[in-house]
Amino acid sequence: MSTLKVWLRVVRIKFLLASIISVCLGLAINGWQNKTIDIGFAILTFVGVAALHASVDLLNDYWDYKRQIDTETKRTKFSGGTGVLPEGLLKPSQVYKAGIVMLIIGSAVGAFFVFERGITIAVILGFAIVSIYFYSTRIVDSGLGEVFVAIKGAMIVLGTYFVQSSHITLEPILAGVVSGVLSSTVLFVNSFPDFDADKKHGRKTLVIVLGKEKAVSAMWIFPVIIYGVIITSVILGVFPIISLITLATMPLAIKFGVALKQHYQDIERLVPIMQGFVSFGRITGALFVISFVLDILLKNLQ
């Protein structure tokens, strides 16, 4: 395997899309509300968010290997780490250093925005730096992994919007909740196969805290929050009515939620379920972004 492919594997490119969608959502809401976009700031936001996202995954791979979690769990396409370190494709020190470099790059972009936009970005950046570095140890060990991911997604949307507009409104806050919970849903479901290895080595995912049987039932809370925020916001006139196109993914949530209840103990059968929830998250997020873009286009045609 080429060095480039190994590094792309360890930064989990396929999961980066969630953060990219969150940035797009912040940009779309800004365009919808303020009818402007700073292309330069948008590009820098993509770079900074991608670097910070990569940092989380790199440091997570490093710590899970050091704690022997990834050497004892069965790896799938969606769980159990990237396998790069257990397979000896890279040295742990290389992955750790790369994670720190990505954190520095993301922080540098954030520092530029602090200079340009002030204290609000500083608060978001400070949260990002501290939580990214401690995510794979203290945060996950405290059972707050899903909470962190939800907050991270929300802050990406809100931070992107603030960088463009220099102010905060209700729309990006509520949209951030939707985006964050979508990412948290994927993390929650993907933690089922790692239950035993995580528990043995001190990690406390929400699935471990609740136990598998209760966690299966608790899964429904995620789509309820997602669709509940969207529907309520449309009714109250916060989001455009066309945002209801996100309800098109409800059958996916139901289908794979039922399948999770039936097969949560079977790792092989969990793989298509995890893939289903990844698709659910990405499609719902993309449709949410598209809804704001479509509303802009429809208003321009009137």
Residue 59, Ramachandran bin (φ over 0: left; ψ between -120 and 50: alpha; else beta):
alpha
Q: 66-80, 85-99, 151-165, 183-197 — which is least confidently predicted?
A: 66-80
Q: Give per-residue pLDDT as tens, 62-119.
A: 888 888 776 677 777 776 677 788 888 889 999 999 999 999 999 999 999 999 998 8
Number of H helices, E strands in the chain: 14, 0
Gap between the Cα atoms of 272 and 182, Å rounded = 18
Taking residues 233-254, what's their average pLDDT?
97
Q: Is residue 149 very low, low, confident or very high in pLDDT (cuts 50, 70, 90)?
A: confident
Gap between the Cα atoms of 203 and 194, Å rounded = 10
Contact predicate 2/89, CB 8 Å: no
Element (H, E) at 115: helix 92-117
Gap between the Cα atoms of 146 and 293, Å rounded = 29
Which one-letter amino acid corresponds to residue 168?
I
Which residue carries 């990002």 as its tokens? 128
Q: What are the φ and ψ backbone dihedral angles of 145, each rounded to 5 degrees? A: -60, -50
CA-angle at 237, arms to 232 and 239, nearest 5°: 75
Q: Which of 77-86, 144-153, 226-235 has the highest mean pLDDT?
A: 226-235
CB atoms within 10 A of CB 267: 18
Q: For position 1, what pLDDT does the model report?
A: 56
Give the domain extent around 226. 3-301
Gap between the Cα atoms of 34 and 53, Å rounded = 28
Per-chain mean pLDDT for the chain: 90
Q: Give per-residue pLDDT as tens, 117-134.
A: 988 889 888 888 888 777
Is the pLDDT at 140 greater than 80? The verdict is: no
Gap between the Cα atoms of 184 and 170, Å rounded = 21
Contact predicate 164/38, CB 8 Å: yes
Domain count, the chain: 1
Structure token digits, residue 90: 């890279």
Positive or negative torsion for Cα 278, 284, 289, 294: positive
Structure token digits, residue 231: 């529907």
- CATH (domain of 16): 1.10.600
Of 208, 189, 79, 187, which is closest to residue 143 (Cα–Cα)?
A: 208
Measured in whole angstroms, the distance separating CA 1 from the mean position of its chain's CA atoms is 28
Contact predicate 234/240, CB 8 Å: yes
Q: For position 144, what pLDDT does the model report?
A: 78
Q: For position 98, what pLDDT does the model report?
A: 93
Contact predicate 32/296, CB 8 Å: yes
Q: Give per-residue pLDDT as tens, 37-54.
A: 999 999 999 999 999 999
Gap between the Cα atoms of 128 and 275, Å rounded = 27
Q: Give per-residue pLDDT as tens, 238-247.
A: 999 999 999 9
| DSSP line for 250-277 | HHHHHHHHHHHHHHTT-HHHHHHHHHHH
Of 231, 233, 245, which is closest to residue 171 (Cα–Cα)?
A: 233
Q: Is residue 6 very low, low, confident or very high in pLDDT (cuts 50, 70, 90)?
A: confident
Is the pLDDT at 143 greater than 70? The verdict is: yes
CA-angle at 105, arms to 128 and 3, nearest 5°: 115
Q: Is residue 2 very low, low, confident or very high in pLDDT (cuts 50, 70, 90)?
A: low
Percent of the chain with pLDDT over 90: 60
Q: Give per-residue pLDDT as tens, 11-23.
A: 887 778 899 999 9
Read off the pTM: 0.92
